[in-house]
Amino acid sequence: MRKEVSHHAFTLVELIAVIVVLAVLAAVAVPRYFDYSSRARVSATASTFKTFDRAMWSFVRDNSAPLPGDVGWNFLPAGLDRYIEPGTLGATTNTPTPIGGVWDWNNGGAIGVPAVPNFNIFSPGASNPITATAAEFTAIDAIVDDGVLTTGRMRWLSNWGLHMRYEP
């Protein structure tokens, strides 16, 4: 006597339907993920700019002192550690910002930068390129300043990077 064995398998149509549903879900989810990722990078960068700004003006007010001198990439000016947690700008000179590049307090001008004190993000070379889009730069500026990268305190200089000016 022959036993009938029942095999339950998915048909080709059922498999294609599942693949189509998964593709539609991926098409909806992936752009949203990148949007959240971009907003997180913008928010983290703007937050650090604002934190540094508040700390710098508190330092000047509390110490009746001028803005401190240049200290190099990712380092806080002397005395500012009372106002901003060390490590906020990164642990080493090669620690990238959320949008790439490195943090820098510059007081005295540099090649291509006006001799106006500024806190900035710049790319020291291929090891730390700035990865933000123009829309992300504008979004950071909108949170920190006026939303226009050619006016206000925050500016974009193509040969230097994103910087916030401290004018007397």
DSSP states along 140-153: HHHHHS-S-TTSSS
> What whole-number percentage of the chain has pLDDT above 70?
85
What pLDDT does 168 receive?
A: 55
Q: Please state, in angstroms and rounded to a whole number, the distance separating the CA atoms of residues 67 and 60.
A: 6
Q: Please state, in angstroms and rounded to a whole number, the distance separating the CA atoms of residues 167 and 22.
A: 54
Q: Is the Cβ–Cβ distance between 162 and 150 less than 8 Å?
A: no
Look at residues 137, 104, 119 and name the one whose alpha carbon lies nearest to residue 49. 119
What pLDDT does 166 receive?
A: 81
What pLDDT does 77 receive?
A: 79
Which has more pLDDT, 53 or 71? 53
Q: Please state, in angstroms and rounded to a whole number, the distance separating the CA atoms of residues 54 and 52.
A: 6
pLDDT band of residue 28 (cuts 50, 70, 90) is: confident
Q: Among the ranges 42-46, 79-83, 96-100, 114-118, which has the highest mean pLDDT value?
A: 42-46
Flag whether pLDDT at 85 surpasses 60: yes
Q: Is the Cβ–Cβ distance between 48 and 90 less than 8 Å?
A: no
What pLDDT does 56 receive?
A: 86
Which pair of tokens denotes residue 32? 């949203």
Flag whether pLDDT at 138 surpasses 90: yes
Span 133-139, average pLDDT: 91
What pLDDT does 1 receive?
A: 62
